[in-house]
Chain A
Amino acid sequence: MARERYIKLLLMACASLSFLAILLIFIFILRESMPALTKVGFGNLFTSTDWNPDKGSFGILAFLNGTILTTLGGLIIGAPLGVGTAIFLDQVAPKKMATVIRRGIELLAGIPSVVIGWFGLIILVPFIARITNSSGYGIAAASVVLAVMVLPTITALSVETLRSLPIELKEASLAMGATRWQSIRTVLLPAAREGILVAVILGMGRAIGETMAVQMVIGNSRQFTLSLFKPTATLTSRLVTDMGEAPPGVFRSSLFAMALVLLIFAMLLIFSVRMITRKRKA
């Protein structure tokens, strides 16, 4: 009996420690970003595109823009590809072929991001440079790299969702004289909508947080740009570029403000997943 109690206590300690660690990170980031929020000012921080710490300018809009555009770009390429792959694997491919491709995609999930970034750097960037006559660095390159990185998440979760649909649904539509494609489009995809949405949102989480691979191909410039082919930066890539050199003070605090934004993004995504899955259960 005593042993039971010790184990229970031990497990409780583990759980409390994890929870405490997360809470502390949150509080720490919040506290550290306070100077920036108060001295630079909320408005200035988020609406200025001028990031020039030496001259006292701390606008992060350029990086916020970079993060949003690369994430959207990655999803615009990656989500249809992932969902399409999932449909192919679950509905079209013969079983053996589906297994081989699934294993391949799982493997893709295990490739360290620096390797994918490196591929981007030595193959993708020169390729984009050649066809667009630019430096090749920028949102386009980062989007493609991110698409590769969100692909395993979106594919795996979408396959799970499609697999969990009752076989009766598919049979019902085919028995009505639907073609395979009609059945997928009019019955299976609508029935899997929430699950696929969750897959895309979790992929989005991965894209927003990705640092290394993006930093290698985006060009790391401070300029605000809507062009797909001009060097810019994302919140994460700027963070990792500047954090080594930022002295304590407003500069460093601004970096923490960026971290805070990332954290809030992540929380919003998790919250929306919760909302979607709750609605599905109700």
Chain B
Amino acid sequence: MIGDGNGNKMRVKNLNMYYGDFKALEDISLNFPSQHITALIGPSGCGKSTLVRCLNRMNDLIEGSHMEGEITLDDENINKSSYDVISLRRRVGMVFQRPNPFPKSIYENVAYGPRLGGIKDKEKLDFIVEDSLKKSALWDEVKKILKESGQKLSGGQQQRLCIARVMAVKPEVILFDEPCSAIDPISTQKIEDLMAELKKNFTMVIVTHNMQQAARVSDYTAFMLVQEQGEPGRIIEFGDTNTMFTNPSDKRTENYITGRFG
């Protein structure tokens, strides 16, 4: 396996995940190397979104869900009830499929996380807001309209606002759950460029159903699949993105990336 040992920001080991009695993920083992982008690909319903939501324990919100196995962040197991999910989610931020800015001003959207963290000082907040919007490549477009509602922006701008909102709490890992599936191609490109830029400082995971996108932005790729209806999702192949797309070792991966199904 690639990146084993040192240099992994997060690791998943023998993870099983259940919704009630239904087993959604089986025996997932995977590493997320520091300051790299790892893509999760696979057909709809293969469990890639479920897996990414294990990493910040968002599945906790679903009544009856539970996980077995180990998920580590900096070598500390986060999959135990005693682990503080609040601090976990501040360290592992998330950008969702549909842009979901709060019905608040652009400024307040970005200041939301820092305010939760107890920052009240106006100058400090101003600085964080500007800095985060610059990092998400949105500053120039919104610097004159910071007081307007974040929901008035275009879909692509909203998504970058959501990235800025995450950035404002200075996370270490950012999870992207199909971040471009609801926005136009030009905005998609902006977000991909942004991800490449952010790689210097963050560890990122992207769920995508778009194989070109995985090939373009990611360093490592995991291919997931549900073999038969009703079975759990499993990882079929995990490796360096280039190798995976040019020379997959599993027949099923090859079939998927060459567009034979999915």
Contacts and interface: CB of A to CB of B under 8 A. Distances in A.
Interface of A: 94-95, 166, 168-179, 182, 186-187, 190-191
B3 interface: no
Interface of B: 56, 58, 61, 63, 86-90, 93-94, 96, 98, 100-104, 112-113, 115-117, 162, 165-166, 169
Given A168-B96, A191-B103, A177 B58 contact: no
B61 A172 contact: no
22 contacts: A95-B63, A168-B100, A169-B100, A169-B102, A171-B61, A172-B101, A172-B162, A174-B61, A174-B89, A175-B58, A175-B94, A176-B90, A176-B112, A176-B113, A176-B165, A177-B89, A178-B86, A186-B115, A186-B116, A187-B102, A191-B102, A191-B103
Contacts of A94: 63
A14 B117 CA distance: 60
A175 B93 contact: yes
B93 A186 contact: no
B114 to A, nearest CB: 10
Nearest to B104: A190
Contacts of A182: 116
A246 B61 CA distance: 63
Given A172-B100, A172-B165, A191-B102, 8 more contacts: A168-B98, A172-B96, A173-B112, A175-B96, A176-B90, A176-B113, A178-B86, A178-B116
Nearest to A166: B100
Contacts of A178: 86, 116
Contacts of A175: 56, 58, 89, 93-94, 96
Contacts of B100: 166, 168-169, 171-172
Given A176-B90, A176-B169, A177-B90, A171 B113 contact: no
A10 to B, nearest CB: 45
B104 A177 contact: no
A171 B58 contact: yes
Contacts of B86: 177-179
